[in-house]
Structure 1
Amino acid sequence: MEFNEEKTNKIAGHYKEIIRLLGEDAEREGLLKTPERVAKAMQFLMQGYEQDPEKILRSAMFTEDYRQMVIVKDIDFYSMCEHHMLPFFGKAHVAYIPNKKITGLSKIARIVDVYARRMQVQERMTTQIKECIQNTLNPMGVMVIIEAQHLCMQMRGVQKQHSITTTSDFTGVFEQAKTREEFMNLIRNSK
């Protein structure tokens, strides 16, 4: 990833001040390059704002007469909680049933990353992924399940280290309990 030097310098300046406000010596040898490293890390972690997920799906969209479930499961992701700017991470499971249009499988994982690489809440991220696929491919249905650990719950606050948060959202044929159950069985059974 290329970094905009002006943006990096501005962000680094703010982090240098934060380091000082927290009571640390920002001029200490070990911290001299920290503001710049954090500025670059934050730009990498937030690069989803500069990407168009629908364009990503359309870049590998094909006509295919396939009308069965397509599942991409166990998609690792890392995101930042917008409330505390601490990471949350886990796995996304995405299914859709095509309606004449399919997309390259890697594109499903890429759109998970686009939405994860923003300040997020898990609930919104789940819905954004679902809506992007539904709006772009117009399938017969989409279902997204996200399972994540939130460091804002594990490191601070209630400090529940082993808690997992699960969210789901679905459209179309996934509104039928039988179709949702098939998806759930398929993502559970082959682990």
Structure 2
Amino acid sequence: MDASVKPPFPLPRMASAPVRPTREEAEAAVRTLIAWAGDDPTREGLLDTPRRVAKAYGELYAGYDQDPKAVLDRTFKEVGGYDDIVLVRDIPFSSHCEHHMVPFVGKAHIAYLPHDGVVGLSKLARLVEVFARRLQTQENLTAQIIDALNENLGPRGAAVMLEAEHMCMSMRGVHAHGVSTITHRFTGVFAEDRQEQDRFFAMVGKR
């Protein structure tokens, strides 16, 4: 294409991995935000805050460096012929809203119908943590968890439900305290059979 000719529509940008700033740049950004909020980043109580925040972010957003496939890579086939629902409910999680970067906190319920073995129960809680420790929406978090289950376990069906309170609603905006948001998604047998959905809801105490 002639560089002097402007295309009639915007050309798509090439996807590229984001460049991660240095620790020093991250701490400088925290000092800027402290000053923007109206405080003095050089006062005694705030001098070490940028270092602490950068360290905390390393933990809160550790999911970007973790691979869900590695979490679910080991299955157990000696289960005595068990092929019914495996459910782990009330898995606590905390994540951060990608719109305001404030927390949303809740619990996850995960179920699947085994096809060729089962995964360690703690791995389901670990899977939630991998995706929760990223900037998220609850809807996307729900989809990512169940997609990872299907891609790595190949179950006959899977079901995921999340219940959470969003601080972007309770701390700011409408200041609606104690409001829960529920999202769920079904695949495979759970999506095809209403009775399996009802069993799932009953087992998590929603029926």
TM-score (norm 2): 0.86
- Alignment partner of 2:72: what SS? helix
**Separation (CA, whole Å) in 1 of partners of 2:186 and 2:45:** 48
The alpha carbon displacement at 1:66 in A equals 2.3
Are 1:139 and 2:162 an aligned pair?
no
Q: Deviations over 1:137-165 (max 9, x none)?
A: 10000000000000000011111001100
- Alignment partner of 1:188: what SS? coil
The equivalent residue for 1:51 is: 66
- Alignment partner of 1:88: what SS? strand
**Alignment: residue pair count:** 183
The equivalent residue for 2:200 is: 183
**Among 3, 10, 26, the residue aligned to 1:11:** 26
The equivalent residue for 1:63 is: 77
8 A Cα contact 1:81 1:88, kept in partner: yes
Are 1:169 and 2:188 an aligned pair?
no
The equivalent residue for 2:40 is: 25
The equivalent residue for 2:121 is: 105
| 4+ runs deviating over 3 angstroms | none
**Percentage identity across paired residues of the two chains:** 45
8 A Cα contact 1:69 1:97, kept in partner: yes
8 A Cα contact 1:89 1:148, kept in partner: yes
**Separation (CA, whole Å) in 1 of partners of 2:113 and 2:23:** 42
Q: Which runs of 5+ in 2 are unaligned?
A: 1-20
- Alignment partner of 1:20: what SS? helix
Structure 1: which amino acid aligns with 2:128?
A: V
TM-score (norm 1): 0.93
The equivalent residue for 2:49 is: 34
Q: Deviations over 1:44-99 (max 9, x none)?
A: 110000000111111x3122442100001000000000000000010000000000
**Separation (CA, whole Å) in 2 of partners of 1:106 and 1:92:** 13
The alpha carbon displacement at 1:7 in A equals 3.5
The alpha carbon displacement at 1:10 in A equals 2.1
The equivalent residue for 1:3 is: none
**Separation (CA, whole Å) in 1 of partners of 2:69 and 2:89:** 20
**Separation (CA, whole Å) in 2 of partners of 1:182 and 1:168:** 14
8 A Cα contact 1:67 1:98, kept in partner: yes
Instruction: Note the aligned Cα RMSD (angstroms).
Output: 1.2
Structure 2: which amino acid aligns with 1:49?
A: Y
Structure 2: which amino acid aligns with 1:185?
A: A
**Separation (CA, whole Å) in 2 of partners of 1:165 and 1:158:** 15
**Separation (CA, whole Å) in 2 of partners of 1:106 and 1:44:** 19
- Alignment partner of 2:173: what SS? coil
